[in-house]
Structure 1
Amino acid sequence: MKYKKLPNTAIDVSKICLGTMTWGKQNTEEEGHRQMDYAVEKGVNFFDTAELYAIPKEKETQGSTETIIGNWFKKTGKRENIFLASKIAGPPEFNEHFIREEGFTEAAFDDAIHTSLKRLQTDYIDLYQLHWPDRATNCFGQRDYVHDENEQWEDNIQQILQILERYIKQGKIRYIGLSNDVPWSVMRYLEEHKFNGLPRIATVQNPYNLLNRTYEIGLAEISMRENVGLLPYSPLGFARLTDKYIENKGIEDARLTLFPEMARYNGERSLIATQKYYNLAKKYNMSLATLALAFINAQPFVTSTIIGATKMEQLEENIASINVDLDEEILSEINKIHNEIPNPAP
């Protein structure tokens, strides 16, 4: 395993982060425990979860993923070995759910943090993230920003950081991050740190993969100049960037088969680009998943790549990608495809 400092800390986190969102839905608790056992054996010390999980979101399974992780901590006694990230859900009008109605209020944070701590069977969360903004903006695949002159949102970022600061001082969370967010917001949070001494965001968790490199347009420069790490999720595009769809192997229980509503990576341009990346991977005698993950692992603005798997063989391949280095020739060919078909699945 390879490790990297969490930005602005002395903490070494594995460059592979274990994603957990299928546990409690596509994966059983036993399977989740097996994945954690294997990941730790291979040197992974970073887990990511959320109060919303399992995904696809349902009221009956909401919170189940955190419960599975908490039971594993209790069983193994390995809480102190893991850098644990979780998230508070944003308001439902921007990503429909059933947890609570309000946005990032003091009451919402109090409920979310204490409920997550209970499910996770821990006294603290290492990295606490805002799962999505509590204002209307262009995230979740929306290309353009359309401003609503009548919106009710008022800038509450200073208040959010003041609330989070109290939980940091109480020792219930250690560091903070954003998710599904945009350049304006990242700089606005950093502004509060610089000018008012409020807690500094360490990371941004956004989608990033061969079919969606929009992070590079505005956020990569912020990551490098301001030292805010990217935690890329969906590095394989809901498994679109794997061999199985092209080779028609084992897709009966694949995510895009079971949940066709997750159609973000099914567009015609995505399929054309995927075929080109698949051909490139085969040219260099590697799987498409390995090519896709190795590309992300090579980016200097990435702190840790969040990988998820429903089967152990997928997990093994994904973790092993950390040992694959792409040379300049392969990276050049990747960029050639990207320039031909840029960001088909933002």
Structure 2
Amino acid sequence: MEYRRLGSSGLQVSQICLGSMTWGLQNNQHDADEQINFALAKGVNFIDTAEMYAVPPSPDTYGKTEQIIGSWLSRHKEKRADVIIATKIAGGGLPWIRGGAPITGQAVSAAIDASLQRLQSDYIDLYQLHWPNRVSPHFGKHWPNLTTPSKEDGSAEVDGMLDILQAIGDAVKAGKIRHFGLSDDTPWGIQTYLRLAELHNLPKVVSIQNEFSLLHSKDWPYLIEQCIHEDIAYLPWSPLAGGALSGKYLGGARPEGTRWSLVQRQGLFRDTPLSNEAIKAYADIAARHQLTPAQLALAWCNQIDGVTSTIIGATSMAQLKENFTAFSLPLSAELKAEIDAVLKRYPAPF
């Protein structure tokens, strides 16, 4: 297992981050315990969760994933210092979470306390904003004019960001959280938080997690370059594009119990004819090189310059073990050239 610095935090995190969003819906406590124990035995020291989880989100599953992790932590207190726990406050739009209201400093303070209680921990290593208050070009909204930043009140956004960051600063001083990160944000969001931190002597952003995969590589090179030079860890989520890059949904297949067999809050926006063509092409390359499609996609993500730790999740131990092997697989020049040829044909298939 390789370890890489989590931005300017000084923490060393494993190149694999264990994602947890299936715990509490597709997976139960026993499943989660098995996954955590396996991952830690393999050298993983980084677990990502969120107050919103399990996914797909619902009032019934809100907070359940943190509770499951908290149960494990309560039974393994001696390991708490060895595990880096990252969680996230949900943004606006979910009526069962703070009435769907946007993130505020007051909301941050209350959400941190609630997460600490569910996690049964005195502190959170990395506390992240799940998505910003403004509409950002994520979740399929990265095409021109699907967002309209010219209509946003920039000054009001900055005021709101300062309010959030001040609450983060208070939580750091109180020892409730150690570090601050972003998710589903943009270069402007990163830069604004950096500027506010410097101006007001508040915590610096140490990481950002955005969707990044062979089907969704829009953060390369511009946002990732900024992360490298500002010493911010880049944490890809959904490196298998919601499981699509495993090939299991090709031809309209919906295996029972899989994520795409469940109703999705954002819809199946990754499921397009071009995406299916790209996935089939990657699957063919993987077969020629004696890899599974998932291993190919994860190994590609891991070797991208600037990637710190890739967030992976699984609903079965077989999937988790398959995914783990990808991180010890070198990609030959020939294989990378074949992948690049497909990526150039399908740079943005959804």
Cα pair distance change 1:333/1:26, threshold 3 Å: same
Q: Percent identity?
A: 40
Q: How many residues align?
A: 342
Which amino acid counterpart does residue 110 of structure 2 have in structure 1?
D
Contact 2:254 2:260 in 1 (8 A): no
Provide the secondary structure at the position in 2 that maps to 1:231. Answer: strand
1:336 — aligned with what? Answer: 341
Matches within 5 A, 1:311-330: 311-330=316-335
Structure 1, 4-13 or 266-275: larger mean CA deviation: 4-13
Is the contact between residue 243 and residue 287 of structure 1 (CA under 8 Å) also seen in structure 2? no
Counterpart position of 2:228: 224
Q: Given that residues 252 and 258 in structure 1 are in contact (C-alpha distance below 8 angstroms), is that contact kept between their aligned partners in structure 2?
A: no
Structure 1 segments unaligned to the other structure (5+ residues): none
Shift of the alpha carbon at 1:181? 0.6
Candidates 231, 248, 254, aligned match of 1:244 = 248
Is contact 1:46–1:82 with CA below 8 Å preserved after alignment? Answer: yes
Distance 1:62 1:226 in 2: 34
Q: By how many angstroms is 1:29 displaced?
A: 1.2
Aligned counterparts of 2:214 and 2:2: Cα–Cα separation in 1: 22
Q: Which residue of 2 aligns with 1:29?
A: 29
1:171-209, Cα deviation, whole Å (9 max, x unpaired): 100011000111111111112233433211111111001
* Counterpart contact for 1:137–1:146, Cα < 8 Å: no
Tell me what 1:142 maps to: 141
Distance in 2 (CA, whole Å) between partners of 1:319 and 1:150 is: 42
Partner of 1:99: 97
Inter-partner Cα distance in structure 2 for 1:18 and 1:10: 20
- List 4+ stretches of structure 1 deviating above 6 A: 247-250
Tell me: CA distance 1:134–1:15, structure 2 relative to 1, closer, same or farther (3 Å). same
Q: Deviations over 1:142-166 (max 9, x none)?
A: 0233136375944222222121111
Residues 51-106 of structure 1, C-alpha deviations (whole Å, 9 max, x = no match): 000100110110000000000011122222210000011112xxx34110332223
Q: After TM superposition, give the deviation of residue 246 of structure 1 in Å.
A: 4.3
Candidates 146, 150, 165, aligned match of 2:169 = 165
Write the deviation string for residues 214-257 of structure 1: whole angstroms up to 9, x where unpaired: 11153111112212111111111111111433499992222112
Does residue 87 (structure 1) correspond to residue 88 (structure 2)? The answer is yes
How much is the aligned-residue C-alpha RMSD, in angstroms? 1.9
1:108 maps to 107
What CA distance in whole angstroms lies between the structure 2 residues aligned with 1:243 and 1:139? 23
Q: Secondary structure in 2 aligned to 1:178? A: strand
Partner of 1:182: 186
Deviation at 1:311, TM superposition (A): 0.5
Partner of 2:4: 4
Contact kept, 8 Å, 1:294 with 1:322, in 2: the verdict is yes
- The whole-number CA distance in structure 2 between the counterparts of 1:150 and 1:266 is 30
- Aligned pair in 2 of structure 1 residues 41, 136: CA closer, same or farther (>3 Å)? same
Whether contact under 8 Å (2:116, 2:122) holds in the other structure is yes
Name the SS of the counterpart of 1:127 in structure 2.
strand
Q: C-alpha offsets along residues 317-338 of structure 1, whole Å, 9 cap, x if unaligned?
A: 1122111111222222212111
Counterpart check, 1:121 vs 2:120: yes
Aligned to 1:293, the other structure's residue is in SS state helix
- SS at structure 1 position matched to 2:220: helix
Q: Distance in 1 between matches of 2:331 and 2:232?
A: 24
Instruction: For structure 2, list consecutive stretches of 5 or more residues without a partner in the other structure.
Output: none
Q: In structure 2, what is the equivalent of residue 192 of structure 1?
A: 196
Structure 2 counterpart of 1:207, which letter?
E
Give CA deviations for 1:12-67 in whole Å, capped at 9, x if unaligned. Answer: 11100000001001111111111111111111100000000010011011000000
How far, CA to CA, are the matches of 1:301 and 1:274 in structure 2?
Answer: 24
Cα distance, 1:264 vs structure 2: 2.2
Partner of 2:277: 272
Instruction: Please say if residues 180 and 207 of structure 2, whose CA atoms lie closer than 8 Å, have aligned partners that are also in contact.
Output: yes
Contact 2:21 2:65 in 1 (8 A): yes
